């Protein structure tokens, strides 16, 4: 169908299936996690939020404004995915700058799928002597776990869909959506 000028599309990307988590649901849950972290770390003298680029950026920028305790932030960049398939091994593209020895570190990622990324980064960080290390993720696809993945703060459990939005992407597309939506892979073209 030819689109007439001024006609608004339902979604900005053709490949979107449905909205799984709305902006309102995300806001509410992120506020709750922020309050929980504020409470759990009230005695912390060195709190570091360490995000995995790039998927966790939107989540972190919202979450940090819900934490009312002194904190700093840093990032690492790792990759394991090509399109909607994990390659099964994790590559560090850029490391964090902070010397985390003695810091209370909260590792933040957008989503746990097989758990391989979080397990790999957790082990790496533990070798760098943080005072404590916890894991915070927005989404968890529990049924897809291949390795043990302790999650201390979780936004939402989701079923086995490939999802985009709120920072998450498929081949760099979809990060700007303000909600979490499933990808209809039959409509997805690279």
88 conformational bin, left if phi > 0, alpha if psi -120 to 50, beta if neither: left
**Minimum separation from the CB atom of position 45 to ligand IMP (A):** 29
Q: How does DSSP assign 54-67, residue by residue?
A: TTTHHHHHHHHTT-
Q: Give the closest residue to 178 by CA, choosing from 30, 66, 35.
A: 30
Site for ligand IMP in 115-134 (CB under 6 A): 115-117
Asked whether position 182 contacts ligand IMP by CB under 6 A, the answer is no
Radius of gyration of the chain (CA): 17
What are the distances in angstroms from CA 171 to CA 19, 113, 133, 164, 180? Answer: 19, 16, 30, 10, 16
**Minimum separation from the CB atom of position 51 to ligand IMP (A):** 10
How many degrees, rounded to 5, is the angle at CA 178 between CA 174 and CA 182?
A: 55
Residue 133 binds which entry of ligand IMP, Mg ion, none, CB below 5-8 Å type-dependent:
none
Distance CA 70, CA 42 (A): 9
Q: Tally the C-alpha atoms within 13 A of residue 127's C-alpha that lie toward its C-beta.
A: 5
Q: Which is nearer to Mg ion, 55 or 174 (CB)?
A: 55
Q: Tally the C-alpha atoms within 13 A of residue 86's C-alpha that lie toward its C-beta.
A: 16
Q: Which stretch binds Mg ion (CB under 5 A): 50-58, 85-93, 120-128, 153-161?
A: 50-58
Contact pattern for Mg ion over residues 4 through 43, marking x by CB under 5 A: ----------------------------------------
**Minimum separation from the CB atom of position 171 to Mg ion (A):** 13
Q: Which is nearer to ligand IMP, 90 or 100 (CB)?
A: 90
From 36, 77, 86, 98, residue interacting with ligand IMP (rule: CB under 6 A):
86
- 152 class by beta-carbon count within 10 Å (0-12 exposed, 13-18 middle, 19+ buried): middle
Q: Which of 113, 160, 171, 184 is catalytic?
A: 113
Q: Count the site residues for ligand IMP by CB under 6 A.
A: 18
Q: Is 140 a catalytic residue?
A: no
Site residues for ligand IMP per CB under 6 A? 52, 55, 80-81, 86, 109-117, 162-163, 168-169
- Active-site positions read 113
Site residues for Mg ion per CB under 5 A? 55
């Amino acid at each position: 169908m030819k689109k007439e000028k001024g006609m608004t599309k339902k979604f900005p990307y053709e490949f979107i299936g449905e909205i799984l988590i709305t902006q309102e649901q995300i806001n509410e849950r992120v506020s709750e996690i922020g309050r929980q972290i504020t409470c759990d770390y009230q005695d912390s003298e060195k709190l570091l939020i360490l995000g995995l680029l790039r998927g966790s950026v939107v989540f972190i920028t919202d979450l940090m404004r819900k934490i009312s305790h002194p904190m700093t932030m840093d990032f690492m960049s790792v990759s394991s995915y090509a399109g909607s398939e994990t390659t099964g091994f994790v590559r560090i593209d850029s490391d964090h700058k902070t010397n985390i020895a003695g810091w209370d570190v909260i590792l933040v990622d957008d989503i746990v799928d097989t758990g391989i990324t979080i397990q790999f980064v957790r082990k790496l960080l533990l070798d760098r002597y943080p005072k404590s290390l916890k894991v915070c993720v927005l989404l968890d696809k529990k049924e897809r776990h291949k390795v043990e993945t302790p999650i201390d703060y979780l936004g939402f459990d989701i079923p086995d869909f490939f999802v985009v939005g709120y920072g998450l992407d498929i081949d760099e597309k979809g990060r700007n959506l303000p909600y979490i939506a499933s990808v209809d892979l039959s409509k997805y073209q690279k």
